[in-house]
Every structure is written in structure tokens, then in C-alpha cells.
Amino acid sequence: MGIGGRFLPYGRQDIDADDLAAVAEALQSDYLTTGPTVGLFEKEFAAAVGARYAVASNSGTAALHLACLAADLGPGDSVIVPAITFMATANAARYCGAEVIFADVDPDSGLLTLETFQAALDANPRAVVRAVLPVHLNGYSVDMPSIRAIAEPRGIAVIEDACHALGGTQAAGNKSQAPVGACALSDMACFSLHPVKTVTSGEGGVTTTNDERAYKRMSRFRTHGITRDPAEWVYADQGFDADGAPNPWYHELAELGFNFRITDFACALGRSQMKRLPLFAARRRALMDRYRSLLKPLAPHIRAVPSQAGGDAVLHLSAVLIDFPAIGRSRAQAMQALKADGVGTQVHYIPVNRQPYYRRRYGHQRLPGADAYYERVLSIPLFTTMRDEDVDRVVDALRRLIP
């Protein structure tokens, strides 16, 4: 253990007695997998972010995959994904058979921009671009009015990867703001409920939408592609009895889906955690305010990823940009020194286009904004049970890196 006590990971969950009680109650109920809690969680989640519908699944990756399926992506289609993201954003498109076009990002925020989105389209004039997946990296929203303005006239679906951004607001056009997940300027928004995220259900994901058709399709894809809705059945002779009543056992496989179901006890945890979302958001914002003011004197060697205008973000990650040549240490050396001081760090993310799978498929691609972001970025501890003194300790450890 380094200076000042307990080891601070870059992120961790915040579980209280109410969460434990909610899970214990769910485990003692009649349902372990899909029961009434899943539907209740979906309704409450949709209401919390201001969307009409929410579909809960067993990971953020499944939430993205369901969205890509509902957007009817398939072979022959292309999807634009920013190079700085977790690989699941790109993989979701590939699961459907679509090709990925990696867009560059702003070098300081790591976000897809109007210019980098347009450049990706211009560089691929023959591609049938059917969707774009803006990623709200760290929790800062992409400028959605710009993305929508380019996507809408071209019939490009907008699927937000909001896995980092639960609880924040974003620009919604005409100087207004909307909660992230309300899908004010998108077709769908996808969230992860992994333990390091703002709210957790263990593993879990949610896709929100205002489109009833997308909602129904995602609900069906989540459970193998099975429909129990008599109105959707193809074989009336098998589905209905002589009096025209639906047969009680009958169901049909309408299309090929998956088992992306989430358990009732995971949703019990999710419901309990969502009650504390306003508290989590306030604490994360307070911690970030403290970081921002304490980090200011460390510039230009070390500085916080700049805040983005247009919305009031709730950050999942606290990321700093470090000029490693200027401090005379490699990133690995800096991470080791911070670890010795009890400070956990991580890199979010290696540009996805550099991953061997994508390199083999699409070849080498130079994306200067993504490369510049990746060269400097480091995530430092941010979680709600951090104390103010912990923030001070992290900044002290960072200060000691500067010669």
C-alpha cells in the first residue's frame, strides 16, 4: 500500500443495505430469471431517462447488439463507429454481419464530431451506411444535434452508445437539453450496468427507444426470437382452437434471436440502484469539480479531459491527458508509480481499429485524433464512495509525476 492508505481502483460499485435487501427478496421470490421485476425495472428506467420504452438485457454488449438487430443491420451495410470506444460498440455491428467504418475523434475529448463523422462518410462514398454509433466517452455526450443533422437526411439510424453516460443531460437542439437515454435525437440509446458504471445490476444492459416497433423487435430478439403474441402468429391452424381462442402452449419462432435475458434478481439490484441515481450523479459531479480545480495547476503536463458544452454530464470515468515525453516517463512507468502510491489507473481505450481482428479485416488506418487521444489518456479513480481526501491524494500522486 502506498502513501495515504487504501488502494483506490479507477472505478467500483456502491452497494448499500437496501441493495442487499432487494436482491435477497428477489432470490426468495418465485422467479429467478424473467419475472415481474424485469418489467418493473424497464418501466422505471424508461421513466428515469424520459424514454417511452426500455428493454433490459444481460449486458451493455447485448443492449448494443439488440439495437443493431432492431435497426435491421446486415451484410452489405456499413456502420460508423468512433475509433476510441470499447470494442463492443463495433462488435455489435459485426455480429449482424455489417461492416465497420472507424471514424476519427477529437484529440482532446475522444468524441466523434460533425467533422470526423462527415470525413468518415466522405472517405467511403460507395459504402451503404445504415447507422452511426456515437459514443458518449467518459460520460460527455457527443454533439447530438450535429450527428442528427448529418444522419437524418441520409436515412442513417442513430444508435447512442450511452454506456458511460447514465444520469446526464445532452444537447437536444434549439439550445434545449434532454436526459441521456431520452432518444431526443436518436433512434435508440444503449446502457451498461457493469459494476464500474454509474448504476449496476452485476452484469446488465438496457436499450431505450421511443419507437414501438424497435421496442417489440428487441424484446423478441432478447428471447430467441420467440413470439407469444397471437397477433403475430403465422400458423393460425396450430395457434388457435376451433373456437378461435389462442392455444395456451403455443408460440412461434418468428426470427433467429438470442438468449439475452437478464435475471429478476439483477433487475432487483438495478431498481434499488436507480433510486440512488440522483445521489450518485451529485457525488460524481462533486468529485469531478474537485478534480478539475485541483488539476488546473498541473497543466500543461497533466490536465483533465475538457468538459463539453451543451449538456450537464455525469461522468463514468475521470480521464486525464498526460504529456508523457514532457514528464520523462512512459505511461507504463507512470501507472507503476501511481500504483505504488495506491492509485489505480487504466487506459480507455486502445483505438479499436488497431485491434488485430479489425486490422486483419480492414487493414492499417491512420486516425490522427484517435492516436493523439490514446497516446495521452489515463483514467484515474472515480467512484461514489471516494472521499474528498481521496481526490486530493490522487492529485498529489499525479503532481509527484511532474519533474
User: Interface with ligand PLP by CB under 6 A: which residues?
Assistant: 59-61, 85-86, 88-89, 135, 161, 163-164, 192, 194, 205
Q: Which is nearer to ligand PLP, 233 or 265 (CB)?
A: 265
Q: Is 189 helix (H, G, I), strand (E, B) or coil?
A: strand
Provide the minimum distance between the beta carbon of 62 and ligand PLP in the complex, in angstroms, as a whole number.
7
Provide the minimum distance between the beta carbon of 299 and ligand PLP in the complex, in angstroms, as a whole number.
27
Q: Which is nearer to ligand PLP, 136 or 393 (CB)?
A: 136
Provide the minimum distance between the beta carbon of 63 and ligand PLP in the complex, in angstroms, as a whole number.
7
Residue type, 117: F
Residue 246 pairs with which residues in a beta bridge?
240
Q: Which is nearer to ligand PLP, 146 or 198 (CB)?
A: 198
Distance CA 70, CA 64 (A): 10
Concatenated DSSP letters of 119-168:
HHHHT-TTS-EEEE--B-GGGPPP-HHHHHHHHGGGT-EEEEE-TT-TT-
Q: Which is nearer to ligand PLP, 101 or 206 (CB)?
A: 206
Provide the minimum distance between the beta carbon of 34 and ligand PLP in the complex, in angstroms, as a whole number.
19
Tell me 364's DSSP state: -
Q: Which is nearer to ligand PLP, 61 or 109 (CB)?
A: 61
Provide the minimum distance between the beta carbon of 48 and ligand PLP in the complex, in angstroms, as a whole number.
18
Provide the minimum distance between the beta carbon of 111 and ligand PLP in the complex, in angstroms, as a whole number.
12
Task: Name the one residue in this structure whose C-alpha cell is 490522427.
Answer: 368
Residues in CB range of 231: below 8 A, 6 or more apart: none
Residues in CB range of 394: below 8 A, 6 or more apart: 8, 291, 343, 380, 381
Q: What's the Cα-to-Cα distance from 398 to each of 65, 82, 249, 316, rounded to whole Å?
A: 38, 29, 63, 20
Q: Which is nearer to ligand PLP, 168 or 205 (CB)?
A: 205
